[in-house]
Structure formats: C-alpha cells, structure tokens
C-alpha cells in the first residue's frame, strides 16, 4: 500500500517541480483565483522585507498572515518551493492515513450491524465490501495531489497550502483518536484563519463516539469531555497568540489578521461572494451585511451537527465545503481540500442526481474565470458583472455538489433503515419523495 502512495508522491512532486521551473509559475502566482490578499506569496515576501527593515510587517496593510508564517519563512524563504511541496505531500499522506483508519472503523461498524441483523433484507447492494474500500485512501491522496486546483495553488506558493496541511493534520489526529493533538491542531488551524472553528463540533462528536461517551446534554461525562477539549483548545490558542505577541512584540497582528478576515476591507475580486456585494453597498449598511455574511458561515454548524450526529467525518466534509464556499477570501486551494474527500463517498454514486451538471458547470467556470478576467481587466469589453456571474455560478455548482452528496448520504442511511425497495401496504412498488 505504501508503494503506490510513494509513487503518487513522486509523480506529484515532479509535476510541481516542473511547473516551478517553467515560466508559468510567475503567471499563475498573479491569478486572483489562486491567491487572495490573505494568502499571496508576494505579500509574505513584503512582510519579510518589512521585518528586515525593522518595521512591523503589518504596517501598510500589505501582509495579512499570522506571525507564525513569518517565523517559518524567516528561516525557510530560500526553500519556499520545497516547503510548499512538502505541505502538499503532508496533506496527502495525512489524508491517506486518516481515510484508511476511518474506513477500518466504518467497516467494523458495518460488521457489527450486519451481525446484529439491523439491516433490512434487500440492502445487500448497499453494504460495502473491503475490496471496494481498498483503494479509497490512495484515491483520496490522488484526488488531492493531482487536482489542477491544488497544483496551481502550490505553484503559486499560496499559503493556503500550509493552512490545508494544518487542517489535514487535525483530521488525522481526530480520526486516530488523539484528543490533545486534535485540540492543538484545531487551535493552530483556527489561529491561521478563523473559520476552522466550525470543525470543533465535528471533532467533539467523533472523539466522544470513539470513547463511547454518550452524546447527551443531560449527562455529566458529556460536559466533562467538552470542558476538557475546550480547555485544551483554548489553552493552545492562547499559547499561540501569546507566542505571536512575543515574537513580534506588538498586538497589531490581531487587527491585521483577524480584523482583516472578519471585516473584509480589501475588495479584490476572487472566487468568493463578498467582493462584489461590498463594492456596491452603501456605507450605512455595510456593518449589517458584514454581520449577515459572516453569520452565514457559522450558522450551518449547529443544525448540521444535529442532523449528522452519528457521522462526524461526513460532517467534517460538509463543514470544509461550507468554509470553502462562504469564507471571506476563498481560493481554489480551499476547494481542492474538500474535493479530496469525494472518493470516500464513492459508494453514494448511485444516489447522486446532479453529477453531470455539477461537473460540467465546475469545468466551464474554471475555464471561464481567466477568460472573463482577461476580458474585463485587459480587453475592457466585459465588466465586473461578468466575472461575478462566473463566481456566482461556480459557488452555486459547489453548493449543488454539497447538497447532492448530503442528499445521497441521507438517502443511503434511510435505505439502510427502511429497505432499498420500499413497498406500500398492498405490496406494490412505492417511490421515495424528498420532502
């Protein structure tokens, strides 16, 4: 199993190295779909230069990454390409082992359920076999490494790759059941950008199920575990923020990083939904819409975690997708992270309804982005509306993809309880309708 993985890694590294050496690297690094004001490599270099001059790197509203990135690249700036390739490799390896472990657990649960005869008689098609699950981790690693979005993101040296690495390490430690590491990596991910906070609920659910703690608000053990996890999480977050303060000697990274993420002052076009709205809004209502948009990212956490209480890994997938669509400065690197999970749910393919539509739209939009950008900025014959329309459709396709998988997942669960071919009382065939 390791050999195909190493082969894959070698192939991926080769592709990236080849692109790094070509002239395309410079071109890709300027694309707004791949880099955002938060993650651009150009800005990291600016921040490092400012630090060398003795000025705070956050002066002048150029650099918006955390001091940790400064610290890392202060030593590694000459090996930046290697760093980003290593980050991608780390993501792939972490996801590989995480998915392998997850599959083992899924299989074990399924075995128990089969022995307890909990599945209806006609659900044999839905039961998963080890044979089909054997290559899923490799597929996950492949989906991540060979995804054009990921390759572009790595070649552009966008720090999104590093954020993805931290999130994938968090997923690995959660799936392995290590509470402390899970809390630490989640704190690190939240420290990098605020939105991984929503993964907290999923991590809690998974860890509690793994330790057989009943998820019941009336039980003391539930709250005790939540308190432990919260303590570890907040403690590591506090330590990281404190370390950042001591690293640079001032608190101005707080408004520059978190204030920037939350208040969206920079309206450079990207593949997100914020920039166009806020470009044309009246000042009086800006705060209101800002609150609405930011609440929109966090509002799905609680309902989704209620609904998907028994499937926390799917919940993580959903949360990653929501973050990638609704965050304030998304890039294609965020999109590629949740797309890496799609092979894990490949058994749902019989219930997916919009596969062709979603795939065509995503492909078309990815092709349209550079075209309309060129038409808007360089040729002057299009305008912002064209580009934003493409953004809208791209996000719409992602939302549709997410909803599709959600529907398919729930439908499979429903079939596992109520049988695959539902019959009416008189024995004739009935159809399922989604209400």
Our CB check for other proteins shows the closer of 81 and 413 to be: 413
Contact region with other proteins (CB under 8 A), list: 36-44, 223-231, 265-273, 284-292: 284-292
How many CB atoms are closer than 10 A to CB 285? 10
Sole binder of other proteins in the list 213, 243, 342, 416 (CB under 8 A): 416
Q: Distance of CA 165 to CAs 169, 173, 188, 372, Å? A: 6, 12, 11, 31
Residues whose CB is less than 8 angstroms from the CB of residue 14 and which lie 6 or more positions away in sequence, other chains included: none
Q: Measure the CA–CA gap between 79 and 83, rounded to whole angstroms.
A: 6
* CB of 101 or CB of 413, closer to other proteins: 413
Helices (H) and strands (E) in the chain, counts: 21, 0
Least distance from C-beta 420 to other proteins, angstroms?
A: 14
- Span 117-136, contacts to other proteins by CB under 8 A: 118
Residues 294 to 323: which contact other proteins by CB under 8 A? 295, 299, 302-304, 306-307, 309-310
φ, ψ (nearest 5 deg) of residue 199? -75, -10
Stretch that binds other proteins, among 214-222, 255-263, 289-297, 399-407 (CB under 8 A): 289-297
Q: Which of 191, 187, 188, 230 shows the shortest CA–CA distance to 208?
A: 230
DSSP secondary structure letter of residue 258: I
Q: How many residues bind other proteins (CB under 8 A)?
A: 20
Q: Work out whether 287 is an interface residue with other proteins (CB under 8 A).
A: yes
CA contacts within 13 A on the Cβ side of 211: 16
Residue 26 contacts other proteins per CB under 8 A: no
User: Quick one: the chain helix, strand, coil %, rounded to 5?
Assistant: 75, 0, 25
Token representation of residue 351? 């219930």
Q: Which residue has the tokens 């150029």?
A: 62
The contact pattern for other proteins, residues 363-402, with x = CB under 8 A and - = no contact, is ----------------------------------------
E strands present in 257-350: none
Question: What's 311's DSSP letter?
Answer: -
* In the complex, least distance from residue 134 CB atom to other proteins, rounded to whole angstroms: 24
Among 107, 261, 413, 419, binds other proteins (CB under 8 A): 413
Confirm or reject binding of residue 111 to other proteins (CB under 8 A).
no
Window contacting other proteins (CB under 8 A); options: 41-49, 238-246, 288-296, 347-355: 288-296
Question: Which three-class secondary structure state does DSSP give residue 279?
Answer: helix
**Candidate list 284, 378, 425, 431; residue touching other proteins; CB under 8 A:** 284
CB 303, min distance to other proteins, A = 4
Contact residues for other proteins (CB under 8 A)?
A: 113, 118, 284-285, 287-288, 291-292, 295, 299, 302-304, 306-307, 309-310, 413, 416-417
């Amino acid at each position: 199993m390791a050999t195909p993985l190493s082969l894959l890694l070698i192939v991926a590294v080769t592709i990236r190295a080849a692109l790094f050496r070509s002239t395309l690297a410079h071109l890709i690094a300027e694309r707004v779909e791949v880099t955002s004001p938060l993650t651009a490599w150009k800005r990291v270099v600016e921040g490092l230069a400012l630090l060398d001059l003795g000025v705070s790197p956050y002066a002048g509203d150029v650099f918006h990454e955390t001091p940790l990135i400064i610290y890392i690249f202060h030593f590694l700036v000459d090996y930046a390409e290697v760093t980003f390739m290593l980050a991608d490799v780390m993501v792939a390896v972490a996801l590989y082992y995480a998915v392998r472990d997850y599959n083992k657990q899924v299989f074990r649960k399924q075995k128990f359920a089969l022995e307890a005869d909990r599945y209806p008689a006609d659900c044999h098609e839905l039961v998963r076999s080890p044979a089909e699950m054997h290559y899923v981790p490799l597929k996950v690693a492949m989906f991540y490494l060979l995804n054009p979005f990921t390759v572009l993101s790595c070649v552009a040296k966008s720090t999104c790759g590093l954020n993805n690495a931290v999130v994938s390490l968090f997923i690995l430690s959660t799936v392995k059941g290590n509470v402390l590491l899970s809390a630490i990596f989640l704190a690190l991910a939240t420290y990098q950008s605020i939105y991984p906070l929503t993964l907290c609920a999923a991590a809690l659910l998974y860890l509690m199920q793994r330790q057989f703690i009943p998820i019941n608000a009336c039980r003391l053990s539930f709250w005790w575990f939540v308190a432990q996890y919260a303590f570890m999480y907040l403690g590591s977050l506090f330590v990281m923020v404190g370390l950042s303060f001591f690293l640079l000697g001032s608190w101005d990274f707080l408004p520059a990083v978190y204030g920037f993420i939350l208040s969206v002052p920079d309206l450079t076009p990207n593949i997100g939904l914020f920039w166009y709205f806020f470009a044309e809004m009246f000042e009086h209502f800006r705060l209101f819409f800002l609150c609405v948009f930011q609440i929109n990212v966090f509002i799905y956490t609680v309902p989704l975690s209620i609904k998907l209480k028994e499937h926390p890994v799917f919940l993580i997938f959903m949360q990653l997708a929501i973050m990638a669509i609704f965050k304030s400065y998304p890039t294609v690197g965020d999109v590629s992270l949740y797309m890496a999970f799609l092979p894990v749910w490949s058994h749902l393919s019989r219930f997916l309804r919009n596969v062709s539509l979603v795939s065509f739209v995503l492909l078309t939009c990815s092709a349209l982005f550079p075209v309309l950008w060129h038409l808007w900025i360089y040729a002057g014959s299009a305008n912002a509306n064209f580009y934003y329309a493409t953004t809208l459709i791209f996000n719409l396709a992602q939302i549709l993809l997410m909803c599709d998988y959600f529907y398919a997942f729930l439908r499979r669960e429903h079939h596992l309880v109520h049988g695959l071919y539902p019959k009416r009382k008189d024995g004739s065939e009935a159809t399922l309708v989604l209400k």
